[in-house]
Structure formats: C-alpha cells, structure tokens
Amino acid sequence: MELGIFGSSRNIDDLKKQVQEANTLGYSTFWTPQIFNLDALTALAVIAESVEGIRLGTSVIPTYPRHPMMLAQQALTVNQVSNGRLDLGIGLSHKPVVEGMWGISFDAPVGHMSDYLQILMALLHDGTISYGGKHLTSRGGIDVPADAPPVLVAALGPQMLKLVGRVADGTVTWMTGPETIRNHISPIINAAAEEAGRPVPQVIAAVPVCITSDLDIAEEYAKRDFGFYGDLPSYRAMLEREGLANSWDIALSGSFEEVAEGLQKYSDSGGTQVVAAVYGPDEAREQTVSELAKLMS
C-alpha cells in the first residue's frame, strides 16, 4: 500500500517541519490543501528547496479563482523547483464557496471543468493553446522548462469521473468510503480512461485517521472537524452510497491494527494511494503519524 500524509498550517516553518517529518518517516507523499491559510503552491515551492525526496501534492486547488494559464505557470514553476515532485490536485470547490465567498457563478460545473482541463493540460504538456470554450478562453503560451505534473481532479459524480478519466491523470477523493471507491469511483474512471486510450488513472483516497485508545475523544474531534461536510451535497451523496448516516462516521479511529485494517480496505478497493488525514488531540496526532509509518517498512 502506498501511503501519503495530509497536513496544513498557517505558518510556513511549521508546515516545513511536517513535511520533513513525513519524509524522514518514509511517507510517499505529503498533501496540503488550498483553503484559507497558506497558498499551497507557494508554500510547496519554498519547502521543496530544502526537503528532498518526498512527493508534494495539493488537495486541492479550486479552479474558479485561477485561470488555467495562471495555474499552469504556477504548477510548472513548482515542478521545476521540486525536480518533478509535484502532484497537482485541483477541484471545483463547492457552490457556497464559489458563489457565496467569491461571487462567481457555479452553473454548469462539469462544463467549466471540461474547458479548464482542455486549457490546463495543453499548457502543461505543450506550452501553448488557442481555445475558446463556452466557459473559459485561453490563447497564448507559457515558457517554463519543467515536466508536466500529474493532474488529479476531485471528482465524485459520474459525469465528472468520466471527464477526468478521459482527460486527466486521476482523482482525489474525500468523504468517500472503500465500497464507494470499489463500486462507483474506480469502475467509472477506469472505463473512461480505457475508452480514451489513456493509462489507468490514479485514485488518491484521503481518509481521516486517528490512532488512539480513547474513542470518545476521537469521535468528539471527528464531529468538530468533519461534521459540516455532511451538509455539502457532493459529499452527502458519497456518504449515502457508503451507508453512513454522519460525515464523521467516515473517520478511522482505534488501535494501530484497526486503523491499518481500515486503510488496507481502501487500497484493496482500488485506491492507488491512501492518504492519512490525521486528526485528534496533539498527542494522538503525533502517535498516528509515527505509527502509520510502520505500514511502509
């Protein structure tokens, strides 16, 4: 099982320490989000200068605020600095954020992403594009000497999964259980990629994880950190597919053996990489990061 770790911080030095620890422990990748603290790509560029070896991923960059030409420039720059270690995770975000916070229309999200990927993939791989789509236009080129990073798109619905399978390199899942990956995510994205003559897509399965003997505390933190996800329609649909009543029920908590067994289910279901999003009190978080490293020995 290929195992990554998920982390974030408001402080670049703290984030660098997290990446350094993950690298020392032998994790394959370190993923960080683009939310409301550090800019993910800027932070990873800084960190890549001093931390070698481990791959660095974004999970995920929202597409609406960044034109794909701008994102292509940023991604290629980070990939140049990191010597090809970037995994570029992107996604739509959610209607309350896109419309409520940014004032951008969330109509036709699949159409938006189709145009976005058409432009982004061309610029990453060829450096030039002349495309006028219904939702996005890009004409011009960029010149950043670096390999194109893999593009992983947060995709959960059938139409988005088919699009990603045809065009991109894989998907990143969240609030999605192993049976949903086995019976929904993997079959749809793999079939679309095969039909398009593309390689088997990556399925990056991000999972909330806490190794602890205090299950009450773990549940308290899970409710606090993950409770609101159940109010977002795309995640609610995945939770219902998995037969879970609450968003915090997706979290894996318990002994090392119990958590390891739970993570293995994600790998067996079609997850090409499992990413542990560690939660809980500080002591449990430190224990979880340290103990999960045993799975890679």
Q: What is the pLDDT of residues 114-141, one digit of tens each?
A: 999 999 999 999 999 999 999 999 999 9
Residue 251 lies in a domain: no
Coil/strand/helix, residue 277: strand
Q: Residue 192 is which amino acid?
A: A
Q: What is the CATH number of the domain that holds 18?
A: 3.20.20.30
What secondary structure does DSSP assign to 185-227, as a single string? IHHHHHHHHHHTTPPPPEEEEEEEEEE-S-HHHHHHHHHHHHG
| Domain count for the chain | 1
Query: How many CB atoms are located within 10 Å of the residue 32 CB?
Result: 25
Residue 297: pLDDT band with limits 50, 70, 90:
low
Average pLDDT over every residue of 154-171: 98
Query: Do the Cβ atoms of 208 and 223 come closer than 8 Å?
Result: no
Average pLDDT of the chain to the nearest whole number: 97
Tell me, yes or no, whether 92 lies in a domain.
yes
Domain annotation covers residue 289: no
Distance of CA 3 to the CA centre of its chain: 13
Classify residue 62: in a domain, yes or no: yes
**Six token digits for residue 69:** 């030409």
Coil, strand or helix at 254: strand
Asked whether the bond before 151 is cis by omega within 30 degrees of 0, the reply is: no
Q: Does residue 265 sit in helix, strand or coil?
A: helix
Helix then strand count (H, E) for the chain reads 12, 12
Is 279 among the domain residues? no
Tell me what the mean pLDDT of segment 168-180 comes to. 98
Residue type at 1?
M
pTM of the model: 0.97
Residue 92 is part of which domain span?
Answer: 1-154
Spatial distance between the Cα atoms of 89 and 171, rounded to a whole number of angstroms = 8
Q: Tokens for 214, please give them.
A: 């205090």
- Sequence letter at residue 91: G
Q: Is residue 234 part of a domain?
A: no
Q: Is residue 44 part of a domain?
A: yes
What's the pLDDT tens digit per position in 199-250?
A: 999 999 999 999 999 999 999 999 999 999 999 999 999 999 999 999 999 9
Residues 121/137, Cβ–Cβ less than 8 Å: no
128-132 and 137-141 beta bridge pairing: antiparallel
Query: Is 204 part of a structural domain of the chain?
Result: no
Q: Are 28 and 273 in contact (CB under 8 A)?
A: yes
What pLDDT is recorded for position 296? Answer: 82
